[in-house]
Amino acid sequence: ELFTMFFNSVTNGGKTTLAEKLKNMLPNCDIISQDDFFKPESEVETDERGYKLYDVLDALYMDEMVTSIRNWMKSPASSGVVTEEPQKTRDNQKNVYILIVEGFLLYNYEPLNKLWNRRYFLTLPYEECKRRRSTRVYQPADTPGYFDGHVWPMYLKYKNELEENASMQVDYLDGTKSQEELLSYVYSDIIKELNKLRE
């Protein structure tokens, strides 16, 4: 059995930390990160203000990402995922392979839409998002005004597109909550889903 969950988040929303913690708690669990599919800087477009347009699908090798997910789904056992000893896992979770896909632009790319069991979206208010972003070092580094000029507007555009799409089944999570609270909620949600899968 395969179970795939997608974590989408505003920049610095906490998705990577959450994904890593879940991986340690769940049997036969693996992570694919959208950040690993960025094009090199030379291939990323620049707008008229001189901003590198990283927060758009064109900045990513999305077809390669889909291929990686599909390859994992074809043979999860050969993906290098750590297989737990059976007695450590609940009986009803044996032989379920779990894939966490985490990124910031996952839900408006059509080829990904058939590959998920659960979708989560971590949100943050503007001030908190900007504060967290300012504490991180990026390669290439954010240019002055980049957050307000590109990052935040693209996030709002993307989130609005999702909210306007009635068929989108997404569980929105408040990224200002503690990691423990978020982890507890998502973990129990996944266990419920896995139990349904095994019924």
**Cross-strand pairs, 97:** 2
Phi, psi dihedrals of residue 120, rounded to the nearest 5°? -125, 150
* DSSP state string for 111-145: GGTTS-SEEEEEE--HHHHHHHHHTS--SSPPPTT
Give yes or no: 35 in active site. Answer: yes
H or E stretch covering 7: strand 2-9
Question: What is d(CA 112, CA 127) in angstroms, rounded to the nearest whole number?
Answer: 31
Token digits for 16?
Answer: 């990577």
30, 35, 58, 142: the catalytic one is: 35
User: Which residue numbers are catalytic?
Assistant: 35
